Amino acid sequence: MITAQAMALCIFTAAQTYSVPPTVILGVLHVEGGKIGMASPNTNGTYDLGPMQINTIWVPQLARYWNVSEKTALRWMRDDACVNVGVGAWILRTKMNEAGSMAGGIAHYHSATPTIGSNYRNKVLAAMRKYRLIRQPADLVANNGRPTVRREPG
């Protein structure tokens, strides 16, 4: 179990490390709905792990990078919320760089198939709006790919 304060620290550390707005990480976390220790099966034989539901396709690459066994890398991503959020933020940054935009990166975090990715991006943006983290989806485009954070007057 992780406290809300510890999870917030994980989110903000990952956001700063990979230059991904924490609001986007929160949106993905909400849409994915994963939990620590969770491994959700996919139809292609892979699993989605932990809070950010990171696909096991990333395990071999991360195991090599961390110089650990694939079993250890999988366990870390599934069972350690901070590792999971950090890897998720790294994947988001990678996908944003590949897509050339934040909106495209959010879509590609889930799928490079245009309609599937667009539907996912819309869900993330809806979650971000619901929690008043952004005003409108157009804010992602109008603000050079950075969400407009809502601030209280005063």
Tens of pLDDT, residues 113-144: 999 999 999 999 999 999 988 876 555 555 55
pLDDT (tens digit per residue) in 6-15 = 999 999 999 9
Whole-number pLDDT of residue 66: 98
Whole-number pLDDT of residue 114: 94
Whole-number pLDDT of residue 154: 47
Cα dist from 139 to 44, 56, 102, 133, 146, whole Å: 35, 32, 11, 11, 7
Arch. (CATH architecture) of 4-142 = Orthogonal Bundle (1.10)
Residue with tokens 């539901």: 53
Rounded mean pLDDT of the chain? Answer: 91
Q: Are 8 and 112 in contact (CB under 8 A)?
A: no
Q: What is the mean pLDDT of residues 83-103?
A: 97
Return the closest-CA partner of residue 109 out of 96, 122, 100, 119: 96
Q: Would you kindly state where each structural domain of the chain is located, as residue ranges?
A: 4-142
Q: Tell me what percent of the residues of the chain surpass a pLDDT of 70.
A: 88
pTM to 2 decimal places: 0.86
Whole-number pLDDT of residue 105: 97
Cα dist from 27 to 2, 24, 120, whole Å: 19, 5, 11
Whole-number pLDDT of residue 140: 54
pLDDT (tens digit per residue) in 9-46 = 999 999 999 999 999 999 999 999 999 999 999 999 99
